[in-house]
């Protein structure tokens, strides 16, 4: 999908916001992934950051937290007029939740070669098990998203070598 410059700038603005949330998650000890949901008017209605470690909750992914918040705020689980920005390609759980929420558009930063369930490893939104087709744009601020994750994992490996957590 080709974007014009103003569309790109809009997506970049929201991905920058998601990157800030990802930084907060990483600083708190969780994998640095952040998510922002905007409504059809371009207003931020929800955000989330990974909280698996802090909450001891395997479902506390940035996307899930943002989807739950948006649904509560809009008082509907149908989010077809919304756009979700997330720094990392969603996993199978999050991809399923995105389909179930009938999300209008997903914009993500970097592909996940291990568990990416949008385009990289599997494609849940376009598969036969999906009852909703989600618009997808990948690669917005890809380099920044990749660098943030790589730096966090490199730091984590260094801490393990030094015997820290």
Tell me if the pTM is above 0.85: yes
Instruction: Report how far residue 10's alpha carbon sits from residue 39's, in angstroms, rounded to the nearest whole number.
Output: 13
For 101-157, what is each residue's pLDDT tens digit? 999 999 999 999 999 999 999 999 999 989 899 999 999 999 999 999 999 999 999
d(CA 113, CA 134): 20
- Percentage with pLDDT > 90 across the chain: 89
- Evaluate whether 104 touches 80 at the Cβ level (below 8 Å): yes
Q: Of residues 47, 49, 53, 63, which has the active-site annotation? A: 63
Write the DSSP string, 28-55. TTS---EEEEE-TTS-EEEEEE--HHHH
**Known active-site residue 7:** no
| Cβ atoms of 121 and 112 closer than 8 Å | yes
């Amino acid at each position: 999908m080709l974007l014009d410059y103003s569309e790109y700038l809009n997506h970049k603005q929201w991905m920058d916001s998601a990157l800030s949330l990802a930084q907060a998650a990483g600083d708190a000890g969780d994998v640095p992934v952040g998510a922002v949901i905007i409504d059809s008017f371009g207003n931020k209605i929800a955000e989330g950051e990974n909280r698996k470690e802090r909450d001891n909750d395997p479902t506390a992914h940035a996307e899930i937290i943002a989807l739950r918040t948006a649904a509560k705020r809009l008082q509907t689980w149908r989010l077809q007029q919304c756009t979700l920005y997330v720094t990392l390609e969603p996993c199978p759980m999050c991809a399923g939740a995105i389909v179930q929420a009938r999300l209008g558009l997903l914009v993500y930063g970097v592909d996940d070669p291990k568990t990416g369930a949008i385009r990289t490893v599997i494609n849940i939104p376009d598969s036969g098990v999906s009852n909703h087709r989600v618009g997808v744009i990948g690669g917005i601020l890809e380099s920044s998203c990749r660098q943030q994750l790589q730096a966090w994992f490199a730091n984590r490996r260094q801490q393990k070598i030094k015997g820290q957590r």
